[in-house]
């Protein structure tokens, strides 16, 4: 017997969790862009509501959707910049304002260059402070896989920073 997927009341989800999602978006984008990205996330939630299976809380589902959307958006921006640079129309510029530390800028640039799963694991671990087991459970992978991905991400970051092993 197949169980029907639970339905989401997206209006209620927006009212209850919109501010948390906005805070999440601000990890990736400066304040001026965050409101637009928030609207994009909820538009994506409307499109993808059928993918919610009820295995996690609606907020966890929404957080995952937000993270994937922001990472994909950053990668798309990077691709557009690269294409524009090739034709010489617009110089490269970073969409994230270096308001706090150089590390924030470095990480934001690194997220755009790595595999989406790797970036998502890095965001959850380093920015959200989630445990490796919680990340594994959320993404449907083992804790060992998360650990291996974090080591891979650390190695990539060290190489990008020009550091030694």
Question: What does the pLDDT look like over 131-144, one tens digit per residue?
Answer: 888 888 888 888 88
Q: Whole-angstrom Cα distance, residue 107 to residue 105?
A: 5
> What token pair was written down for 39?
């609207």
Residues 45-73, mean pLDDT to the nearest whole number? 88
Residues 23-40, mean pLDDT to the nearest whole number? 88
- 94 pLDDT band, cuts 50/70/90, is very low
pLDDT at 2 exceeding the cut of 80:
no
- Considering the chain, what is the average pLDDT of its residues? 77
Q: Whole-angstrom Cα distance, residue 165 to residue 162?
A: 10
Q: What is the pLDDT of residue 111?
A: 72
b/e burial code for range 68-100 (CB count within 10 A of at least 16 → b): bbbbebbbeebeebeeeeeeeeeeeeebbeeee
- HSE-up (13 A, CA, CB side) for residue 52: 23
To the nearest 10°, report the CA torsion of 73, 77, 80, 86: -150
Residue 28 burial class via C-beta count within 10 angstroms: exposed 0-12, middle 13-18, buried 19 and up: buried
Residues 70-77, mean pLDDT to the nearest whole number? 84
């Amino acid at each position: 017997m197949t169980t029907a997927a639970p339905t989401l009341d997206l209006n209620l989800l927006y009212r209850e969790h919109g501010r948390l999602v906005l805070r999440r978006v601000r990890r990736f984008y400066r304040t001026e862009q965050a409101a637009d990205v928030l609207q994009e996330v909820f538009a994506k939630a409307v499109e993808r509501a059928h993918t919610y299976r009820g295995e996690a809380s609606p907020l966890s589902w929404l957080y995952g959707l937000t993270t994937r959307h922001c990472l994909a958006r950053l990668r798309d921006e990077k691709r557009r910049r690269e294409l524009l640079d090739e034709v010489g129309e617009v110089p490269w510029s970073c969409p994230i304002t270096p308001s706090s530390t150089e590390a924030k800028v470095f990480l934001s640039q690194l997220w755009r260059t790595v595999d989406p799963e790797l970036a998502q694991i890095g965001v959850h671990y380093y920015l959200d402070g989630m445990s490796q087991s919680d990340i594994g459970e959320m993404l449907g992978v083992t804790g060992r896989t998360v650990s291996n991905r974090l080591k891979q991400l650390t190695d990539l970051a060290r190489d990008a920073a020009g550091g030694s092993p």
